């Protein structure tokens, strides 16, 4: 059965963007990241992706995803309003714009993933909704050694109360990135 894995890269002080909304300070190692074991393993284990509309819109051209994005799997975009033009797709990468809530997005992604994992790429609001709904199985956090001093936090109050986690893995990389993986204790 597919696991739902939520995660993002954060600064040491817990931000997923800087005060101007940019993620650039969190990815000085972007090129090397694609050769790092945690990302390679995640790509191989992922059968479907869920992302919020804001994360989807980070690509200047939505057609870029086809053939370029590391996750060439069905992608389910949580949104209130689907785009007017369907982005370019490939036999492996398809887009479904989900307008009826996070539970529906996760249900559809699990069906598409089969025995593989559902990886939630973000954004922060989407991840908080999944945690609040109790739909996440694992949390994968990469911490970059930078203090942003402001921006968007991943862990604002979720309304879920205390959420116990069990550590699964801790990995460091030469660029200073620390990868943490936790299991949600249910």
The pLDDT of residue 20: 95
pTM recorded for the entire structure: 0.91
140 beta partners? 7, 181
The pLDDT of residue 160: 60
The pLDDT of residue 159: 62
* Residue extents of the structural domains in the chain: 4-184
Q: Mean pLDDT for each 10-residue chunk of the chain (186 residues)?
A: 91 95 88 76 93 88 90 95 92 96 97 96 90 94 95 78 91 86 94
- Do 82 and 10 meet the contact criterion of CB atoms below 8 Å apart? no
H helix runs in 46-157, sequence order: 53-56, 65-68, 102-113, 124-132
- Do 130 and 136 meet the contact criterion of CB atoms below 8 Å apart? yes
Task: Place domain 4-184 in its CATH homologous superfamily.
Answer: Dihydrofolate Reductase, subunit A (3.40.430.10)
């Amino acid at each position: 059965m597919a696991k739902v894995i939520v995660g993002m890269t954060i600064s040491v002080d817990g931000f997923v963007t800087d005060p101007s909304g940019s993620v650039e300070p969190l990815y000085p190692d972007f090129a090397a990241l694609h050769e790092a074991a945690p990302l390679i393993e995640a790509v191989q284990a992922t059968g479907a992706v869920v992302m919020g509309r804001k994360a989807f819109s980070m690509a200047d051209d939505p057609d870029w995803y086809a053939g370029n994005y590391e996750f060439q799997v069905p992608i389910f975009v949580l949104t209130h309003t689907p785009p007017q033009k369907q982005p370019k797709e490939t036999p492996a990468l398809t887009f479904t714009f989900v307008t009826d809530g996070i539970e529906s997005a996760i249900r559809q992604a699990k069906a598409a993933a089969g025995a593989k994992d559902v990886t939630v790429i973000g954004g922060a609001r989407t991840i908080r909704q999944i945690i609040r709904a109790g739909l996440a199985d694992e949390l994968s956090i990469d911490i970059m050694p930078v203090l942003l001093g402001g921006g968007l936090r991943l862990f604002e109050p979720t309304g879920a109360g205390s959420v116990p986690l069990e550590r699964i893995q801790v990995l460091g990389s030469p660029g200073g990135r620390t990868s943490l993986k936790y299991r949600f204790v249910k």
